[in-house]
Structure 1
Amino acid sequence: MWASQGLGDKVTAAFHAFSFDLKTAQMLHQIIFQKKKEWLKSNDCGVKDLVQYIRTKGELRDTQTEAIETYLFLKIKGQNKPLWQLFTEGFFSEPVDLEQLPLSTKVRNYLNSNDIAKALYSFSIQKIDRNGTLQLPEVKKAIELHPEDIDYAQVIKDFFYGVDYTDYLFSLPMGAGKTFLMAAFIYLDLYFAQNEPQNPHFAHNFLILIPSGLKTSIIPSLKTIERFDPAWVIPEPAASNLKRLIRFEVLDQPKTAKKSNKVQNPNAQKVNQYVNTPDLMGLILVVNAEKVILDRLEIKNQLEVIERTEDEKDKSANELRNLIGKIPNLSIHIDEVHHAASDDIKLRQVVAKWNRNGTVTSVLGYSGTPYLPTPERINVGGGLQIRFSQITNTVYYYRLVTAIQRFLKKPDIKIGGGRQQPLQILDEGIKMFYEQYGQKVYANGTTAKLAIYCSSIPRLETVIYPYLVGTLGIPQSEILKYHGGNKEFKIEQGAELDYLSLDLPISKKKIVLLVQIGKEGWDCRSLTGVILAQTGDCPKNMVLQTACRCLRQVDKNAKETALIWLNEENAATLNEQLREEQQTSIQEINSLGKQSIQAVMVERSSRLNYLNVPKVDFYQLQVKYNTVVEEKSRDAKSLLTDIYQNLENWRSSTFTETAIILDDGNTSHVAIQSKNILTETGQFNAHFQTWLLEIVKGSCNTLQVNDLMPFKFDLRSIFEKITYLKYGERFFNELYPIGKINAQIRLAFAPKRTLQTDIETIEKEVELLLIGKLRAVEKNDKLYPNESITQQIKDFDEKNTDPVEHERQVAEMYVKFKEMMAQMGSPDLFSPQNESLPLPVKVKNRTFHYLPYNFEQSGFEKLFLEKTLQMSSFQDKPIEIYYNGERGLTRFEIECYEQLPDTWKRLGYYTPDFLILRRKSDQSIEKVLIVETKGEGYKTAFEAKKRFMNNHFVRENNQKFGYERFDFLYLQDDDHQYEDKLNLKLNTFFH
């Protein structure tokens, strides 16, 4: 790569053949985390409301919410691009002024003329800590020595495994909720995909790959996706609609013939029913990774006349893999992604092939340990080599230490003494467990449990179990032995059921003896202790995962603890893995305090009663949709006849050619020997009854098999036309669009329906604050008023003192004091300004129905309120202003619709930002000005709701009330005239 050996020698000498470790997992995460925070505060972030909804809902942990923010940032701001592409575009680099850096003219000119080189250089000089440590100091040196001899694009692409598809890894420790995070991503993708069906960034369907070795332990945990409530991340009614859309297919049935080229794979049959479904959306496939990375089975049949296409060859090799590759808009989720390392290259090849077909939207990986079993290396050139042991496409990283401090059990890690034998460690560990947790019952009714891992089945059966029962006297009813069994020791009857029931209140087991089971992917929250008393009780590279099995939290927000006992060698391994993978140690974990890094929370309080804020009454347009059946029945026989007669128009044709090579001794050329039209092809078995069931299944319960039976003859005619016989078996002819034909058959039985809308206006009366929903928030600089002023307001409220009267009294006292001091000949030491109250305190009786307001998601909202309170057009009028924009805290939400030529389209609920109101003498509301403050990036998305507010809500309400009761004002943060517009509206509406 270097231009000359001499230069290469110089660089090699300068770097001493550097091979340095790249901490990409943390380094990329930190950069993305910071840029994400800036984006969420910016005007071009269109998901502020959604993120605020998720945080207000409060059902997810902070790490899950942060990961969702990162996901949305990369999906929307990063446009779902591969990491290497974002890198080359400078997405992860800070702006750098090369003129201010000590560079040679040659290097500066080169970087200015090469954007990719500049992106890598800018990234390499970013500082990663307070000590000024650079990201890639050695890469920086290499660029400064000889910039033109580095293949920048290739180096950056090598950072991220050279893949052309979007591939992101989210690293959360065990117990942090990776499965629920996966579910959140799925629902969010579907939410955006339904709003923008043609947007390629959002997936319609999903494939969940699990490592082959973890099938029995991970598939049960993946089924928790079914328990995930989409309303935690998406508002209703969209959440419930998406829940109904989801379809699960767990592809865990064994083949009848391994690598068969015949359709004997029940998993493939499951997938095949969806392949030709029009506008397929909401399908979730769960499959063992091994099933999609099998090597291609090359079939060499001398009697085969027709040359197979690449698709046919791939189908012969692995029909399941081939069919999955045809599922459109597919997002691939890889659970415990570090386990895919051994088959990683094959898996990438498969995904790359699907990506070339245009079906892959993104690949998302999840792992608690984002590291590689052996370090990988990237050659930059001239002897410089970057070595990394962490998975470099990690876009989100959450430390184990932070998780322990915030929600996991706090472990007490004990280490057996120097010469202690395994049974002695076992003895101490069990006694301590029974002392601390022997009577422990969690709030959900489960009992605390201790897992003891054994190196082999004979050791468990002949050494450990007899010692527990005989020497320690533990009742057999409290012990579960669970392993795979062998010729000598079989699995005990009921052991598997007991294992699956451990985390239920019915289980009274307290000690679980395990062999090669439960090292990871085992979701047993009531597990409270782990013992690894002997080297080899679990694989060396899995000591961290195994020891951490007992850290899952049982009772939300409870301070829980756990016990871990290790021999010295396992402890040394754990320490090494903690240092390499989590940048911590046993000593640090043992010294952790549960609250040591908890965020500072600010309590909030209601002022509704003090201000006597009335409810807001208004009229709401409500549109109800009713399906009207216009036909009692359809002429199914006639329609089926039409389908049959038009089948030939649906069939496509395929040409096949047979070629021979002609050689005259000097040259050779290819000649076409024969050319045929292919009229039938396909390898999927066809059965008439099964086909009828597929038609019924796709009808969404509007069609039954009994409905088809009177037309069995007509349907069989169609069936025989779209299938063909080969070797005595019938196959679907793939030249016919089977899915579309099935849909047409369903339509033949479906009476014509129309959607009728009923419109009514209902009267509503709602509160501006749901006091029960008012919770503490994390301290931030967007809380208004600040802590000091908030306390002043509370003090004035408690004393029931008017701030204006207080100021007047202070001013009078000052005048008297000044006169007295003058008579005594003393200097004037005070000024009235020193006693002046802050503006929020002065106007406290006309705003702040709760304290403080939280404007963390929009600095413009905070600025708007501050400016409004300062205006004379506000201060001189008997009007009040209340912030209404924090989702979940108010009932004043308006359901918006868009009027179409012949119907109404529901737009969803709109929560106005501010209400400026004036009361009548009886304290009821007289007039309300609804104010919406939006960032420039929200303009297009809000346009339809804005039209509804202006054209329908305001007009209809004012007609109902018989006077100008409501008005609506829309302000954008990029409009420099917004203060003038507000001032004019206040003076005209509240004249």
Structure 2
Amino acid sequence: MAKNAQDNFELNNSFYVHLHEFYKIHRGTIRKNYTRLSKAFLDFNEPSRPGSFLRVPQFEALEIYVFLKEFLDNKPVFQLFEDWYTSQSKFAERVSGISTVDGQIMQGDMFWEMSEKDYKGIFKKMKASNDGRLYPNYIFALTMGTGKTILMATCIFYDFLAGNKKGKDERFIQNALIFAPDKTVLQSLREIESFDHSKVVPPEYMPIVAEFKFHYLEDAGVSLNTMDGSKFNIIVSNSQKIILRRDSKGKSTVDKLFSSGKEMYQGLGDVEDEAMAMLGLDDDSIAAAPQDEADLVTNQRFEKIKRLPQLGIFVDEAHHAFGAKLAKDMGIKADNTANSLRKTIDELAINLKQAGTRVVGCYNYTGTPYVGKDVLPEVVYAYGLRKAIDNNYLKQVKLNGYSNTRHEEFLEIAINDFLAKADEIGRPENILPKMAIFGTTVEELTTEIRPAVEKILAKHGISSDRILINVGDAKHTTDDDIREFNRLDSPNSEKQFILLVNKGREGWNCRSLFSVALYREPKSKVFILQATMRCLRAIGDRQHVGHIYLTKENMALLDKELQANFRISTDELKEPDPNKETVHVRVEQPSIKVPIKRVRRQFKLIEKEDLKDGYKLGLDEVVLDDYRLIHETQQGLLMPDDIGTVKNRAREDLSFLKEQRTFTKLSLVADIARYINKPCLEIEKIIAATEEGFDGILELVNKFNEVLYDQVIPRLFKAMYDIESESVTEEFEVDLVKEPPIDPGYYPVTVSKDKIIRKSSLALAELTGKSFHLDNYCFDSNPERQFFWDMLHDKQVDKIWFTGMLTHGQSDFVIHYVDTETQRVRSYYPDFLIKKQDGSYVMVEVKGEHMIDSQNVRDKKDAAELMGVASGIGYEIVTGKSADSGSYDRAFLN
């Protein structure tokens, strides 16, 4: 480690990565500490669950959010870092040195050999960013287009549900205040209310979601209407002026008269003091008084927010909302002047604490973990631009730079190229592809750009009706234009060329935007990054390409901003990772079908005849000692020869200390009816017919409530019903892979080039008949690739198919199993299906050695073997190391 590691070492680039690695390694142990609600919420949003809504980066960020709350107790990042570095508290099991994660050898953590001096330097920087705050501050850095708004909503919903469940637990929020940097972003945040909440909230918790209340403070004149002490309020404000602000401008004589301030009474001698006393004014109240109507409204908002319990503060587009002083405020650079937003949050924290509640935490959502050359100290999760493109969450990028062109020449080249590309694109999701052209001023756009665009479109026979202008000026942008701007992603929108000035940066989520053109150098350097990246949002079933047209000068500016914000260059953005390739995987015809047998057990509930009077439930057989609270004492230590003696032992029944509900005849009937699903009158008749009767049952269950649910209800159910079961064997054929959508007609898979085996390979010319239900196989690891290659050349193998490649519902060859940890039904796709020479089948899973004995692998194995028994299909697990070396036992082929 370098001497000045704290200066040149990207501390959180290692900490947030290793925080996530710690979670992944210890996920099973960590989840055991979670409540049922947290487990259910995560299970419902798990991307591997069929029908789940969240993308992988959204879900990973949600996992970290829950991890910080449930396991790490909402501690500030600097405290987590200290615990993590010293392997104490919740990080006592931290991995150090060399270990394996997901089958890959890795260094356990980057700080395992860090000097104490270097550690203290980094810790000091971390602590400085949170020093003196009454709340923890976390940053989630997900690049644009990965779904920060939905992630924020999901985190708030989870927190509300957990806060409702846990009451006054200080780790969880009951109200949320969201700051948006401007009206454009605020409009995009309306998606928090409008999207289908059932996509991220388990059905059993949806009734609570109906109680959530949304408040939007778009204009200065809008007051906040929340009930004092209420919960489930989600307040969205585009204004940072919630704290009272003084008017620095002078006041006229009339203003002074109607402001009734102290100066009105000055110079009146004793009358001044009397008037001030009568009005309840003093020097402090005058200094803090609102100066105009707008200040009265913003102060009203602040006062209402102060009265809401357990407030969580969420900052959207945090890099923008904090302005130019973000780096200083976040502890990157020394500065004694905090910006107004941070002051507002700090002031809220102080006031809520005085009111007996608190700001639970501040959760910042931004597109990058970087500010200039530094990493923000409090980043807890990050997902970068390059990764989002590689994993098909964004469009690919093609940058077009031009030098020595005049304005109109540049526009004509860009528009002509876009129109040619638009013909190839068609209408993804039946939406017309769009192009955005940015001007630096309204005058430039209206007097130069618009006429030039109209002239160019006329050459192509395209009407100027295809043009939409949004410049924030009512002279040029009507209300109808705003409505059209907000419906650009609609199939009914016929606007195609969007002319903008300082619009459409953060918060403009136009997925049908395929191109951006920017000619003159903008005043804001970061604007070029924000504007050009707008066309990268994904649309349709395949990965498209976003085309960006820039002058040579603007290309240089973009390269600088990419380096500063994403640590990549325009060269890297132009071309995907040279070691990876997006393969268009197509289904070979005829498609492969496999015979499967599934055993399904059916249960029938047969109602018995009415119970005869005097039916005995047998409650006298219940061993009540199983329900007593027994206190045992022992005097001294017993030697082996003393076992069995009781002279040194004593037992005391303390069952009277147990909290017990006192049942009445009515409540007993109601509780039983709820479980057995019978009318109360019928239950009353049945209980009265038993030998024990109401008196006998009430006497027992009022001593030990558990007896009602453990003994009485099951015995009554058995007396009323018989259960018959039968096994039904179903035989059918399943497709190894489903046909992809007609458009595009293939499945896109991004994978390392060295892990691709193509059917068209000359080296496989004589062996392709033994495999390939797809034209290309893309392997996750070298052991899988090597195992396939070995089996392809093994004479005992008739056919081999790689079935672990498409695992998101594209195949019917799937095994459903119950995950022991979560008690949820999940889908499992074995890596390989082999048909042996005798016509029988065997499924093979290649798994890293460190995972062989995990509970999840055992659950999959049990389910696979159960299905295999019915279908005559074997199951085998091969370790990654032996698969790579070819040293595994091939007995499963015999």
- Asked if Structure 1 and Structure 2 have the same fold, meaning a TM-score greater than 0.5 normalized by the shorter chain, the answer is yes
- Find the counterpart in structure 2 of residue 252 from structure 1: 218
How big is each residue's C-alpha offset from its partner over 1:6-63, in whole Å with a ceiling of 9 and x where there is no partner? Answer: xxxxxxxx97x99934534423321111111123133645356653432214321111
Change (3 A) 1:766 1:456: farther
Change (3 A) 1:453 1:356: same
Residue 333 of structure 1 pairs with residue 314 of structure 2: yes
In 2, Cα distance between equivalents of 1:420 and 1:191: 58
Shift of 1:71: 1.1
Secondary structure (helix, strand or coil) at the match of 2:190 reads helix
- Find the counterpart in structure 2 of residue 237 from structure 1: 204
Shift of 1:861: 4.7
Secondary structure (helix, strand or coil) at the match of 1:447 reads coil
Which of 742, 760, 784 is 2:676 aligned to? 760
Calculate the TM-score normalised by the size of structure 1: 0.53
8 Å Cα contact 1:165/1:362 also seen in 2: yes
Calculate the TM-score normalised by the size of structure 2: 0.59
8 Å Cα contact 1:175/1:551 also seen in 2: yes
8 Å Cα contact 1:39/1:45 also seen in 2: no
Which of 563, 585, 590 is 1:579 aligned to? 563
Residue 485 of structure 1 pairs with residue 473 of structure 2: yes
Of residues 133-142 and 425-434 in structure 1, the stretch that sits farther from structure 2 once superposed is 133-142
Shift of 1:452: 0.3
Which of 429, 433, 437 is 2:418 aligned to? 433
8 Å Cα contact 1:291/1:320 also seen in 2: no
8 Å Cα contact 2:57/2:146 also seen in 1: yes
In 2, Cα distance between equivalents of 1:766 and 1:350: 67
8 Å Cα contact 1:124/1:136 also seen in 2: no
How big is each residue's C-alpha offset from its partner over 1:703-735, in whole Å with a ceiling of 9 and x where there is no partner? Answer: xxxxxxxxxxxxxxxxxxxxxxxxxxxxxxxxx
Q: How many residues align?
A: 624
Change (3 A) 1:418 1:143: closer
Change (3 A) 1:851 1:418: closer
Map residues 630-709 of structure 1 onto 2, 5 A cutoff. none
Shift of 1:67: 0.7
How big is each residue's C-alpha offset from its partner over 1:487-507, in whole Å with a ceiling of 9 and x where there is no partner? Answer: xx5435632222222221221
- Find the counterpart in structure 2 of residue 454 from structure 1: 439
Secondary structure (helix, strand or coil) at the match of 2:145 reads coil
Letter in 2 for 1:229: D
8 Å Cα contact 2:177/2:311 also seen in 1: yes
Residue 295 of structure 1 pairs with residue 250 of structure 2: no
- Find the counterpart in structure 2 of residue 101 from structure 1: none
Map residues 970-989 of structure 1 onto 2, 5 A cutoff. none
8 Å Cα contact 1:449/1:529 also seen in 2: yes
8 Å Cα contact 1:250/1:286 also seen in 2: yes
Instruction: Give the superposed CA RMSD.
Output: 5.6
- Find the counterpart in structure 2 of residue 283 from structure 1: 233
In 1, Cα distance between equivalents of 2:162 and 2:318: 26
Residue 83 of structure 1 pairs with residue 83 of structure 2: no
Map residues 880-899 of structure 1 onto 2, 5 A cutoff. 881=866
Shift of 1:511: 0.6
8 Å Cα contact 1:338/1:367 also seen in 2: yes
Of residues 350-359 and 321-330 in structure 1, the stretch that sits farther from structure 2 once superposed is 350-359
Change (3 A) 1:130 1:577: farther
Change (3 A) 1:141 1:485: same
In 2, Cα distance between equivalents of 1:858 and 1:137: 27
In 2, Cα distance between equivalents of 1:769 and 1:452: 63
In 1, Cα distance between equivalents of 2:726 and 2:61: 35
- Find the counterpart in structure 2 of residue 975 from structure 1: none
User: Identity, % of aligned pairs?
Assistant: 23
In 2, Cα distance between equivalents of 1:229 and 1:857: 39
8 Å Cα contact 1:25/1:390 also seen in 2: yes
- Find the counterpart in structure 2 of residue 529 from structure 1: 515
- Find the counterpart in structure 2 of residue 34 from structure 1: 21
Letter in 2 for 1:84: F
Change (3 A) 1:92 1:544: farther
Residue 862 of structure 1 pairs with residue 857 of structure 2: yes
Letter in 1 for 2:561: Q
Which of 152, 157, 167 is 2:127 aligned to? 157
Map residues 17-56 of structure 1 onto 2, 5 A cutoff. 20-42=7-29, 44=32, 46=34, 50-55=41-46, 56=49
- Find the counterpart in structure 2 of residue 187 from structure 1: 157
8 Å Cα contact 2:134/2:349 also seen in 1: yes
In 1, Cα distance between equivalents of 2:42 and 2:56: 12
Letter in 2 for 1:437: A
- Find the counterpart in structure 1 of residue 403 from structure 2: 418
Segments of structure 1 that go 5 or more residues without pairing to the other structure are 1-13, 96-114, 145-149, 256-265, 376-387, 622-753, 800-837, 870-879, 884-915, 924-991
- Find the counterpart in structure 2 of residue 751 from structure 1: none
Secondary structure (helix, strand or coil) at the match of 1:292 reads coil
8 Å Cα contact 1:607/1:848 also seen in 2: no
How big is each residue's C-alpha offset from its partner over 1:143-173, in whole Å with a ceiling of 9 and x where there is no partner? Answer: 69xxxxx799755411446533121111111
Secondary structure (helix, strand or coil) at the match of 1:610 reads strand
How big is each residue's C-alpha offset from its partner over 1:832-868, in whole Å with a ceiling of 9 and x where there is no partner? Answer: xxxxxx9x999xx999999899998992253478799
Letter in 1 for 2:571: Q
Residue 346 of structure 1 pairs with residue 302 of structure 2: no
Secondary structure (helix, strand or coil) at the match of 2:484 reads helix
Change (3 A) 1:612 1:492: closer
Shift of 1:72: 1.4
Letter in 2 for 1:275: D
Shift of 1:462: 1.1
8 Å Cα contact 1:423/1:533 also seen in 2: no
Map residues 194-233 of structure 1 onto 2, 5 A cutoff. 194-211=164-181, 214-215=182-183, 217-233=184-200
Residue 174 of structure 1 pairs with residue 144 of structure 2: yes
In 2, Cα distance between equivalents of 1:857 and 1:165: 42
Map residues 732-771 of structure 1 onto 2, 5 A cutoff. 758-760=674-676
In 2, Cα distance between equivalents of 1:195 and 1:247: 18
In 2, Cα distance between equivalents of 1:123 and 1:163: 32
Secondary structure (helix, strand or coil) at the match of 1:437 reads helix
Shift of 1:798: 9.1
Secondary structure (helix, strand or coil) at the match of 2:26 reads helix
How big is each residue's C-alpha offset from its partner over 1:664-706, in whole Å with a ceiling of 9 and x where there is no partner? Answer: xxxxxxxxxxxxxxxxxxxxxxxxxxxxxxxxxxxxxxxxxxx
Shift of 1:416: 3.3
8 Å Cα contact 1:314/1:322 also seen in 2: no
Shift of 1:595: 10
8 Å Cα contact 2:148/2:365 also seen in 1: yes
Letter in 2 for 1:225: I
Residue 496 of structure 1 pairs with residue 482 of structure 2: yes
Map residues 94-109 of structure 1 onto 2, 5 A cutoff. none
8 Å Cα contact 1:187/1:242 also seen in 2: no
Which of 588, 591, 608 is 2:575 aligned to? 591
Letter in 2 for 1:475: S
How big is each residue's C-alpha offset from its partner over 1:469-503, in whole Å with a ceiling of 9 and x where there is no partner? Answer: 235525211111221238xx543563222222222
Segments of structure 2 that go 5 or more residues without pairing to the other structure are 249-260, 264-272, 324-338, 608-668, 679-722, 739-748, 750-777, 801-831, 873-894
Secondary structure (helix, strand or coil) at the match of 2:65 reads helix
In 1, Cα distance between equivalents of 2:438 and 2:186: 22
Secondary structure (helix, strand or coil) at the match of 2:437 reads strand
Change (3 A) 1:75 1:758: closer
How big is each residue's C-alpha offset from its partner over 1:343-391, in whole Å with a ceiling of 9 and x where there is no partner? Answer: 344234224324534322221111113444xx6xxxxxxxxxxxx6432
Map residues 704-719 of structure 1 onto 2, 5 A cutoff. none
Change (3 A) 1:548 1:136: same
Residue 267 of structure 1 pairs with residue 184 of structure 2: no
In 2, Cα distance between equivalents of 1:535 and 1:868: 62
Change (3 A) 1:247 1:131: closer
Secondary structure (helix, strand or coil) at the match of 2:210 reads helix
Secondary structure (helix, strand or coil) at the match of 1:504 reads coil
8 Å Cα contact 2:218/2:239 also seen in 1: no
- Find the counterpart in structure 1 of residue 301 from structure 2: 320
In 1, Cα distance between equivalents of 2:352 and 2:606: 48
- Find the counterpart in structure 1 of residue 364 from structure 2: 365
Secondary structure (helix, strand or coil) at the match of 2:203 reads coil
- Find the counterpart in structure 2 of residue 390 from structure 1: 375
Map residues 502-513 of structure 1 onto 2, 5 A cutoff. 502-513=488-499
